[in-house]
Chain A
Amino acid sequence: MSNVPVDTALEVTPAAAPIVVRAGAKPRRRFVFVRNGKSVTGLAILGVFVVLAVVGPWIAPYDPSKVGVGTLLAHPSAQHLLGTDHIGRDVFSQLLVGTRGVMVVGVLAAVIATLLAIAVGVTAGFLGGAGDEVLSAVSNIFLVIPALPLIILVAAAVRSTSNLTIALVLAGTGWAWGARLLRAQTLSLRRRDFVEAARASGERTWRIVWFETLPNLTAIIASSFISTMTFAVLSQTTLAFIGVANVNDWSWGTVLYWAQGNQALARGAWWWFVPAGVLIAVLGMALSLVNFGIDEFVNPRLRLAGLKPREMRKRGIRPRIGFTATVRDLPRRPEATR
C-alpha cells in the first residue's frame, strides 16, 4: 500500500507517444517496449516469481503449517534455510508456498482492474461530453478515496476473505489510475488524423476502437497493468499483515503477520521478518523496472540517446538544455566530413 504512482509523465504528455501503430502492423512491433533493457530485466525477475508460484508448494521442503518441524525460533541452517518461527514452522517453506497467493492475487486483480480500466477509460475518451464527465468523475472519486480503509471495510463485511475475494476487492478499488491514463491517451488518439480518417470513411465505432485505437494503447495498458499489479501485491501483503486476509492462507504478508504478532523483533528473529520484505521489494522493483522501460518508450524525453550514462561521462558529454554538448577537444575543422 505504499506506491505513489510515479508515472505522472505519462498523463501530462498525451502527445508524447510518437510511435503510432497502424492497424494491420505486424504484432511484433506492438510490444517493442519490452525490448528495453530495464523492461527485460524486470520481466526476467517476474518470470522467476511466476515459476515459483507454480512450483513453490511442490518444492517446499516442509509443510509450512506443520508445527515443530524444527526447534522453536531456530536460526537459519542447512535444514531450515531461513530458520523457524515461534512454534517451529519452516519459514522458507512458508515463503515458497506463499508466493502463489501473492502472485495469484496480484495477477488476477491486475487483469480484472485493467479490463475495467480499458472499458471505462476508452469509453470515456471516445464518448466525450457528458458521458466522459461522468466516467471521469467516477474514476477520480475512486482515486481520491483512500483505498486501504475502503478495502478493509469491504473485506470485513463479506463472508469469506479468500484470495479470489481479495483480488476482486483490489480490482474494484485499483482500476481508476489506469482508466485515467487510458482516457487521456484515447482523447489524444481520437484527434489524430488516422482515426479521423477512419471515422470520415464511415468505419464502425467498434472497428475504430478495436483496430485503430487499442493497438496504440498497448504501452499504456501494459503500464497500467503493471502499476495495478504493484498496487495489488502491496495491498495484499498489507491486508495479510494486518490480519484482514485469512491468516491461514500462506502469503508473504501472513509470514510478517505471525512475525509481528509474536515479538519477532524483540526476540531478534531477523530471518523471520527480513526475507519476506526483501521478496516484496524485489518483486516491486521488477515491476517498477518494467514500467520504467515502458515510460521511456512512451515518453522519449526520458531516454538518453545512444550512449550509456557512464560512457557519456567518460567522453565528457553532458546532455543539457541550453548548453549543447560538444565533444571533448572539439576539432576546429572537420576531417572526414567531405
Chain B
Amino acid sequence: MRFLVRRVVFYVVTAWAAVTINFFIPRMIPGDPVQALINRYQGQLDSHAIQALYVLFGLDKKVSLWDQYWQYWGQLFRGDLGISFSYFPTPVSQVLRSSLPWTVGLVGVATIISVVGGSLVGVYLGWRRGTKADAIVPITTFFSSVPYFWLGIIAIAAFAVTWKVLPTGGGYDGNLLPSWSGAYVGSVLQHALLPGLTIVLSSIAGWILGMRNMMVTVTSEDYVTVAQAKGLSERRVMFGYAARNAILPQVSGFALSLGFVVSGTLVMEMVFSYPGIGFRLFQAIGGKDYPLMQGIFLVITLSVLVANILADVVYVLLDPRTRQEA
C-alpha cells in the first residue's frame, strides 16, 4: 500500500498548493489587491462588489498576511468562497453547486467515452500496425491539433445552424421546468449530444495516439512474443498480454492529462452556453467576478484531484506490482 500512501500525500500537497496559489495570486500584486482590481476594472465595480472583495481578501479588518491565510482556510472549511459579483448577492458556493452537476455529467461522461473508445481504437491500431488501419493516424493528428472550441463552433454551424437538427446551446429547453419528467430528461440529453460528441471527437485523438504508441512499444516486449510462441489465440495475446500492459501508462497518462482535457472542455461549455462550470467561468471573466473565478479554480482542481485518485485506484487494481508490501 506504499504506493497509495505516497499518492495520497501527493494529493494533499497538491490541494494545499492549489489553495495557497489561490490565496496568493491576488495578493502578489503590489499594493492593495482590491484597489488593484478596482483600477484594473476602471470603475466598473459597484460598491457591493468592492465590499465583497474586501471581505474575501480579509482586508475589512487590519490583520497580517499570516492571519489572513488562516482565516482563508477557515472560510474554505466552512464552504465559504465569498460572494459572487455577477450573481450578487449569491454566494460563490451556491453558484458552483448549481453548475457542477452539469459539468460532471457532460464532461465526465464524454471523457469516459473518449478514454475508453480511444484506448480501444488505439489497441487495434497499435496491433494492426503496417496495415491500412494506419491511415487513421493522420486524421487523429488533425483532430488533436485543432482547439476544442473551434470544433465546437464548426459543429454548431453544421448541425444547429445549417441543418437545424440539434439545439445551438444551453442545457435544456427553456420552456421546460427542471424535473424528472421524460420531456425534461429528453431535452437535457438532446442538448448534451452535440457538445458531448464534440468533446469526444476532439479529445479522443490524444488517447488513440497514446494507446497506439504504447501498444507498439509493449508488443515488442518478450512476454508478448512468449504469448505468441505459446500459441494463444490472437485475441488473448492482443488483450490479455499486449493491451493489458499497455493500458498501465495510459491510466497514469490519463491522470496527468486530465488537467489539459478539463481545460479544453471548459471552453467547450462557453461555446455551447452549457450551464456548467466552464460557462460560469466565461461569465465571471465578462463580469470581472474575481471571487467566482477563484471558486471555480478551486472546485475544478479538486475535481481533477478526485479523478486522479480514482485513476490511481484503478492503477493499483490493474498493476499487481504496486500492491507489493514493502
Residues on A lying within 8 angstroms of B by beta carbon are: 1-9, 11-13, 16, 137, 140-141, 143-150, 152-154, 156-159, 177, 230-231, 234, 237-238, 241-244, 256, 259-260, 265-266, 268, 270, 273-274, 276-277, 280-285, 287-289, 292, 295, 299, 301-302, 304, 309, 312-313, 317-323
Task: Choose among A145, A157, A242, A318 the residue that contacts B282 (Cβ–Cβ < 8 A).
Answer: A242
Residues of chain A with a CB closer than 8 A to B285's CB: 152, 156, 242-244
**Of B148, B153, B253, B290, which is within 8 A of A265 by CB?**
B153
Contact B36 A159 (CB under 8 A): yes
Question: What range describes how many residues of B lie at the interface?
Answer: 35 or more
A322 to B223, CA, bound (A): 11
Contact of A241 among B14, B257, B267 (CB under 8 A): B267
Interface of B is mostly: helix
Interface pair A285/B141, CB less than 8 Å apart? yes
A249 → B minimal CB distance (Å):
16
A152–B293 contact, CB under 8 A? yes
Contact B206 A146 (CB under 8 A): no
**B207: Cβ under 8 A from any A Cβ:** yes
Q: Is the CB of B146 within 8 A of A149?
A: no
For the complex formed, measure the closest distance between the CB of A103 and the CB atoms of chain B, giving whole angstroms. Answer: 16
CA distance A322 to B206 in the complex (A): 28
* Chain A CB within 8 A of B190 CB: no
Cα–Cα distance between A266 and B285 once the two chains are bound (Å): 24
B200-232 near A? 1/0 per residue, CB < 8 Å: 001101110110011011011000110111000
CB distance from A314 to the nearest CB of B (A): 12
- Against A, the Cβ 8 Å flags (1 = close, 0 = not) of B14-30 are 10011001100110110
A157-B260 contact, Cβ under 8 Å, with A288-B145, A309-B134, A321-B228: no
The 0/1 profile, CB within 8 Å of A marked 1, for residues 253-274 of chain B is 1011111111110110011000
Contacts of A317 in B (CB 8 A): 130
List B contacts of A244 (CB < 8 A). 285
Set B39, B130, B237: member contacting A312, Cβ < 8 A? B130
CB distance from A9 to the nearest CB of B (A): 4
In the assembly, what is the distance between CA of A3 and CA of B21, in Å? 24
Residues of B within 8 A of A (CB): 10, 13-14, 17-18, 21-22, 25-26, 28-29, 33, 36-37, 39-40, 129-132, 134, 141-142, 144-151, 153-154, 156-157, 161-162, 168, 202-203, 205-207, 209-210, 213-214, 216-217, 219-220, 224-225, 227-229, 237, 249-250, 253, 255-264, 266-267, 270-271, 281-282, 285-286, 288, 290, 293-294, 296-297, 300-301, 304-305, 308
Q: Is B229 in contact with A322, judged by CB distance below 8 angstroms? A: yes
Out of B146, B154, B224, name the residue touching A2 (CB < 8 Å). B146
**Quick check: B217 and A299 within 8 Å, CB to CB?**
yes
Assess whether A145 is in contact with B141, with CB atoms less than 8 Å apart. no
Chain A, Cβ-Cβ closest to B262: A146
B37 to chain A, nearest CB (A): 8
Is A322 within 8 A of B228, CB to CB? yes
Contacts of B132 in A (CB 8 A): 313
Bound CA span A245–B21, Å: 21
Q: Which of A152, A284, A301, A318 contacts B217 (CB 8 A)?
A: A301
What is the distance, in angstroms, from B241's C-beta to the closest C-beta of chain A?
Answer: 10
Whether the pair A322, B29 counts as a contact (CB closer than 8 A) is no
Give Cα distance in the complex from A143 to B18, angstroms. Answer: 12
Write out the residue numbers on chain A whose beta carbons fall within 8 Å of the beta carbon of B288: 156
Check B281 against A152 for contact (C-beta < 8 Å): yes
| Beta-carbon contact of A8 and B213 below 8 Å | yes
Q: Provided the pairs A157-B25, A243-B285, A277-B147 are in contact, do residues A149 and B300 lie with their beta carbons within 8 angstroms?
A: yes
**A144-B14, A157-B29, A309-B134 known; A260-B202 Cβ under 8 A:** no
- Given A256-B153, A284-B146, A309-B134, decide whether A147 and B260 contact each other with a Cβ distance below 8 A: yes
Residues of A within 8 A of B216 (CB): 9, 301-302
Minimal Cβ-Cβ distance residue in A for B211? A8
Contacts of B168 in A (CB 8 A): 265-266
In the complex, residue of chain B having the shortest beta-carbon distance to the beta carbon of A323: B228
Which single member of B13, B237, B263 contacts A141 (CB below 8 Å)? B13
- Is A256 touching B150 in the complex (CB atoms < 8 A)? yes
Q: List 15 A-B contacts (CB under 8 A).
A: A3-B260, A4-B206, A8-B249, A16-B217, A144-B308, A146-B297, A152-B285, A159-B29, A177-B256, A260-B271, A283-B145, A284-B144, A288-B144, A289-B141, A301-B217
What 16 new A-B contacts, CB under 8 Å, besides A9-B214, A157-B37? A4-B210, A5-B253, A6-B205, A6-B209, A16-B217, A145-B17, A145-B18, A148-B264, A149-B281, A242-B270, A273-B157, A277-B147, A283-B145, A304-B129, A319-B130, A322-B228
CB distance from B139 to the nearest CB of A (A): 11
Cβ A274 vs Cβ B10 within 8 A: no
